[in-house]
Amino acid sequence: MGGPYTFNEVALVVSMGMVLVGMFLSFARLVLGPTLPDRVVALDLLGVLAVGVIAIYSIAVNQSILIDPAFILALVGFLSTVGFARYLERRGFDE
């Protein structure tokens, strides 16, 4: 005697909503961030949350092929963050 929605459906909707709220807050930090490192960390967080959106959508539509673009996006985001860290190390932390 369950309701009209299964637990999995509710969990997917709630998790997608939470990730989207996180993306909105991260975008706000990207726009308002006072320093360049703040903006880069916010952009990296947006990439991580985009991977989460792709993963949640992949589970929702039962298509495991969508996990491959998520892996690629995660790898590119990681490499860009490492590249930026090396740039800051050589340039210095002050603006």
pLDDT in tens, 23-33: 999 999 999 98
> Residue 42 domain-assigned?
yes
Q: What is the pLDDT of residue 73?
A: 93
* Residue 40: domain span: 7-91
3-state helix/strand/coil string of the chain: CCCCCCHHHHHHHHHHHHHHHHHHHHHHHHHHCCCHHHHHHHHHHHHHHHHHHHHHHHHHHCCHHHHHHHHHHHHHHHHHHHHHHHHHHHHCCCC
> Residue 16 domain-assigned?
yes
> Residue 70 domain-assigned?
yes
Q: How confident is the model at residue 94 (pLDDT cuts 50, 70, 90)?
A: low
Q: What does pTM read for this prediction? A: 0.84
pLDDT in tens, 45-93: 999 999 999 999 999 999 999 999 999 999 999 999 899 888 888 887 5
